Structure 1
Amino acid sequence: MNEDQKKRLLLEFGRIVKFHRTEKLKISLRDLAKKCDVEHSAIGKIEKGEIKIQLPTVFELAKGLEIHPKDLFNFDFPLEETGN
């Protein structure tokens, strides 16, 4: 997987986080940060696809967003582009 593909996946993940935060829960970055163990500034960077995150962060975000972690990965993952 090249860097452009990785960046696109980070952006898609961030888009999903932002959608659930703003459209479903209608809460601010700070409110989400209060509901999970992730700094509001990090959540903003995650939503913009600016940082890579670890699996425990995914679980924390899911907890704060009141969704199953799998829902954060509800976007296309084109296997043919990854070389698999």
Structure 2
Amino acid sequence: MYTLTLEADFKKFKIQFGQNVKRLRLSNKYTQDELAVASELADGKFISRIESGEKDIQLLTIFKLAKGLNVAPKILLDFEI
């Protein structure tokens, strides 16, 4: 039972994180490809997978996204599950 709750919460976490990335990307008027370049990440498809909550990411990726979006990393993690 605990595992199911943990998995469900993690899925919500990834979705919320992705929504924050997308909101900030759009406020910066970036395409997904432009954000990938600004963040030194693979490509727009990678950004798409993050925004949709499909991709598990590392702390380095959070750091790169924050740099590319010109925000503190904590802004990307500012949400409730």
TM-score by length of 2: 0.88
Which residue is equivalent to 2:33? 30
Q: What is the percent sequence identity of the aligned residues?
A: 38
Deviation at 1:28, TM superposition (A): 0.1
Which residue is equivalent to 1:5? 9
Residues 12-67 of structure 1: per-residue CA shift (max 9 Å, x gap): 00000000001x20110011111112122111100000010000000000011110
Secondary structure of the residue aligned to 1:51 is: coil
* Aligned-residue CA RMSD (Å): 1.0
Deviation at 1:6, TM superposition (A): 0.5
Unaligned stretches of 5+ residues in structure 2:
none
Which residue is equivalent to 1:55? 59
Moved more, 12-21 or 24-33: 24-33
Whole-angstrom CA distance in 1 between matches of 2:80 and 2:8: 15
Which residue is equivalent to 1:81? none
Number of aligned residue pairs: 76
Counterpart of 1:7, as a letter, is K
Whole-angstrom CA distance in 2 between matches of 1:58 and 1:46: 10
Which residue is equivalent to 2:70? 66
Unaligned stretches of 5+ residues in structure 1:
78-84
Whole-angstrom CA distance in 1 between matches of 2:39 and 2:79: 23
